[in-house]
Structure 1
Amino acid sequence: MDVVNILIRRLREMASDFIRLLPQLSIAIVVLVATYILAKFARRIAERLLAKTDLRGTLINLVETLVGVLIWVVGLLVTATIVFPGVTPANILAVLGLGSVAVGFAFKDIFENFLAGVLIMLRKQMRIGDVIACEDVEGRVEMISLRDTHLRHLSGELVVVPNAYLFKNPVTVMTQRPKRRHTVEVGVAYDVDLDAAKERITEAVKGCASVDADQPAEIFAKSFDDSAITFLVRWWAGSKPAEAHASRDEVVRAIKRTLDAAGIEIPYPYRTLTFKEPLAIARARTDAPADEAS
């Protein structure tokens, strides 16, 4: 019976303490609701104000997120002070400082991706809509958040890449400029006049509508290959993948038509067999017996 009485007394004390805390809990709930509304309202205001500036979309998203986080931190500190009057914001910050070491080890990857996301958003060279390649990942940037980056493969698949991966490895931004250089190789036969072949190839490349006329086309004799002398053909065209494929298709077709019209051979691979020892050649028998002939 003593145990039951003690338990009942404890429950009554807890109930009375909870009743005494009801006003504070009510105020804390009101503060949390106000924090939610204020954070949402502040993010919208920041978005509208920053949309009128020249800031990139990634920086606008970063500022909006930081404004919301700051408001929530202040709101949670105020709420903790209301519910627990003996706890001050200084005490909470001190506890957070001591616990940050353990939290840092436990959530190392999360904080690493968070900081990498902030630094990526501050970059000027990579924006939403750019086509990038990083190691074995390639695609169009659709979204940059504080944890990961969404890339859309040219074949349609969505790849979610941790920000730390993009921050630690070299990233090639293929659409950083509206134009970039493209390359193909074409071979001509060994008996062809190389100067004439170069003139015809240059003429074909310059006649393509997708080739940037402000940048000179470059044609170089590259190497002696098995069945042809290979020319390296370089020109400038649109940097987007669709533009690159279309321009390469146009240039290859133009070179083929021009070389065919000029009678310049684009040879098939030739293969020559050399035997170190002479081979015995057997002649066909013309004096076969009658029984064999029949």
Structure 2
Amino acid sequence: MPGMDYVATLQAQLHAMALGFVAQLPNLAFALIAILVTWIAARFAVRIADLLVARTDLRPSLKELLDTLVRVAIWTAGLLFAAMLVMPGLTPASLLAGLGIGAVAIGFAFQDIFENFLAGVLIMARRKMQIGDLVECEGITGRVEHITLRETHVRALSNELTIVPNAVLFKNPVRIVTDEERRRYELVVGVSYDADLDRTAEVLRRAVEKVASVDQARGVEIYATTFGPSAIDFLVRWWAGSTPRAGFESRDRVVRAVRRALADARIEIPYPQMTHSFREPVQVQVRTGEKD
């Protein structure tokens, strides 16, 4: 019967597949051994690379990039060798040809992954934005905690962790707050219109220069800038540490020193004038006692 022919054919195919699988068992065993050797070789190669790099002054990001490249190269070679053991007819030329045919489809399917991977390599290779830097990018502010080939971990000052794709950091402007050890700070101080401006500027300068955290080598800048509604505004500039804590502490000490110096010099800091533009006008009616 025709049905019996189909069953016999199926049984013959399954039997052939089983025989083929049994015949491939030695090759599979050798392939597994090759993968195990690859894993061991990758671990030892990374350790050797770390020992060699430890004698140099490479940045931590470049050291991590070197470890990753060594690991990827060894695993790629090991997996190719294991694939050729399982499929003896497979050659490096045919494998590369197959990869070339599927490269376009793989590229479209994993476009974002490849983009972040390449961005991670470029971020690790460039000199700026190292681990420990305080950065600002696309509304994200925090300290760089870890850089991988796909993403960067940014720890906010309030201790939340943000995982940022490397492509975001590579394609958008990144403000590195701690790129230098010092940064400039500004403070606006308003004084009364009756104050002597030259004397006020000198009082402000002496007060800020006495603050220990202020960088004396860069100097202190004092500028009269604006005629405000109730005061003449002075812009005070000074340099101090670039870390957030150093900035807060320096600003706190400068504000305290300025307030104390102006009080000692009897220079008034006026209150801002109250504005009533947001209120409805008040109408007052005066009654004369006469009838309308």
Q: Shorter-chain TM-score: which interval?
A: over 0.9
Tell me the SS of whatever aligns to 2:46.
helix
- Mapped to 1, the partners of 2:219 and 2:249 lie a distance apart of 19
- Mapped to 2, the partners of 1:214 and 1:10 lie a distance apart of 87
Report whether the alignment pairs 1:116 with 2:119: yes
Match of 2:235 in 1: 232
Q: Deviations over 1:162-215 (max 9, x none)?
A: 111111111111111111111111111111111111001001100000101111
Report whether the alignment pairs 1:261 with 2:264: yes
Tell me the SS of whatever aligns to 1:186.
strand
TM-superposed CA distance for 1:283, in Å, is: 9.6
Match of 1:250 in 2: 253
- Report the TM-score when normalising by structure 2: 0.92
Match of 1:144 in 2: 147
Match of 1:135 in 2: 138
Tell me the SS of whatever aligns to 2:33.
helix
Q: Deviations over 1:208-245 (max 9, x none)?
A: 00101111100111111111111111101000000000
Report whether the alignment pairs 1:34 with 2:37: yes
- Mapped to 2, the partners of 1:263 and 1:105 lie a distance apart of 72
Q: Deviations over 1:137-159 (max 9, x none)?
A: 11000000000100000001001
Report whether the alignment pairs 1:23 with 2:54: no
Match of 1:206 in 2: 209
- Mapped to 1, the partners of 2:232 and 2:276 lie a distance apart of 20
- Mapped to 1, the partners of 2:220 and 2:288 lie a distance apart of 59
Distance 1:110 1:228, change over 3 A: same
Q: Deviations over 1:235-264 (max 9, x none)?
A: 010000000000000001100000011110
Match of 1:9 in 2: 12
- Mapped to 1, the partners of 2:116 and 2:40 lie a distance apart of 28
- Mapped to 2, the partners of 1:280 and 1:159 lie a distance apart of 59
TM-superposed CA distance for 1:90, in Å, is: 1.2
- Mapped to 2, the partners of 1:227 and 1:102 lie a distance apart of 68
Runs (4+) of structure 1 moved beyond 3 Å? 271-274, 279-285
Aligned length: 281
- Mapped to 1, the partners of 2:69 and 2:268 lie a distance apart of 64
- Mapped to 1, the partners of 2:39 and 2:288 lie a distance apart of 100
Show structure 1 runs of 5+ residues with no match: 286-294
Instruction: Identify which of 52, 55, 58 aligns with 1:55.
Output: 58
Tell me the SS of whatever aligns to 1:85.
coil
Q: Which residue identity lines up with residue 66 of structure 2 in the other structure?
A: V
- Mapped to 1, the partners of 2:275 and 2:8 lie a distance apart of 106
- Mapped to 2, the partners of 1:200 and 1:167 lie a distance apart of 46
Identity %: 54
Tell me the SS of whatever aligns to 2:180.
coil
TM-superposed CA distance for 1:23, in Å, is: 1.2
Distance 1:264 1:79, change over 3 A: same
* RMSD of aligned alpha carbons: 1.9
Q: Deviations over 1:67-91 (max 9, x none)?
A: 0000111111111111111110111
Show structure 2 runs of 5+ residues with no match: 278-282
Report whether the alignment pairs 1:162 with 2:128: no
Match of 1:105 in 2: 108
TM-superposed CA distance for 1:135, in Å, is: 2.5
- Mapped to 2, the partners of 1:86 and 1:188 lie a distance apart of 88
Instruction: Identify which of 214, 221, 224 aligns with 2:224.
Output: 221
Report whether the alignment pairs 1:172 with 2:175: yes
Tell me the SS of whatever aligns to 1:103.
helix
Match of 1:87 in 2: 90
Distance 1:20 1:248, change over 3 A: same
- Mapped to 1, the partners of 2:89 and 2:25 lie a distance apart of 17
